[in-house]
Copies of this chain bind each other. A is one copy, B any other.
Amino acid sequence: MLLYQEIRQYLFALIAEHPELKKLPSERELLEKFQSTRITVREALTRLEAEGVIYRQNRKGWFICPPRLKWDPVKKVNFYQLAQEQYFIPLTKLVSFETLATNKELEQAFSLKTSGELHKIYRVRSLDERPIMVEEIYCLASQFDGLKDKALDGSITTIFEHDYRVNITHESSRLIVTVIPDDKAELLNVNSGALCLKIIRKRFNQHDELVDYNIEYWVHSAIEIEVDSK
């Protein structure tokens, strides 16, 4: 068998047999154990990382992935509730709030004929202190006056409903597998080049008008999507 596959197998078994383990041995310990080099050891590690078995924190080491959050993008379930049902401790942190002019992409999404102003909510969500998702939420400034002063680390849907009488009735999502942009990688405390599931969601009201436009980046090993169709 290839050497990097042997190392991979060894680590895979190590993880399976030691459920309490949080962190892997260092790369140098491993290369010594297998009389090999860092290139080969890292081949094994990056493979396990792509599989979603381990993840790294910049210059801190390689860690074992906790269970994935199961999430249904179609059901309208609140993040906190979902996380708690699955025994995670959820946390949302507001990174920034801005009000800015639209760009082409967003004007088109909101069917704006002229340029306008949008609120941008930028936040990070964690499970058990591990950041696992960043999101950018855009909505019309004219429609959500005073949004800045609401509790933006909670459910935006609830704010829309309770404070603005705007209800989301349907939505569409696009999912692709790609790499986290570097500025988001920093916020998520993952390496440049880390894999992610990028989700672009458009949420509409009963008149088929776009209410908000969200771009989410989920750490790929932290999530499992579940979709039901009736």
Contact = CB atoms under 8 A, between A and B. Distances in A.
Interface of A: 39, 47, 50-52, 68, 70, 73-76, 170-179, 193, 195, 197, 220-221, 223-230
A44 to B, nearest CB: 10
Among A75, A170, A225: residue with most chain B CB under 10 A: A225
Contact of A224 (B47, B51, B74, B174): B174
B177 A229 contact: no
Contact of A179 (B50, B174, B175): B50
Contacts of A70: 174
A225 B176 contact: yes
Given A50-B178, A50-B179, A178-B52, A227 B195 contact: no
Task: State the majority secondary structure of interface residues on A.
Answer: strand
Contacts of A228: 170-173
Minimum-distance CB pairs A-B, first 6: A175-B225, A74-B229, A177-B220, A51-B179, A172-B228, A173-B227
Among A47, A220, A227: residue with most chain B CB under 10 A: A227
A194 to B, nearest CB: 9
A213 B186 CA distance: 40
B176 A52 contact: yes
Contacts of A68: 176
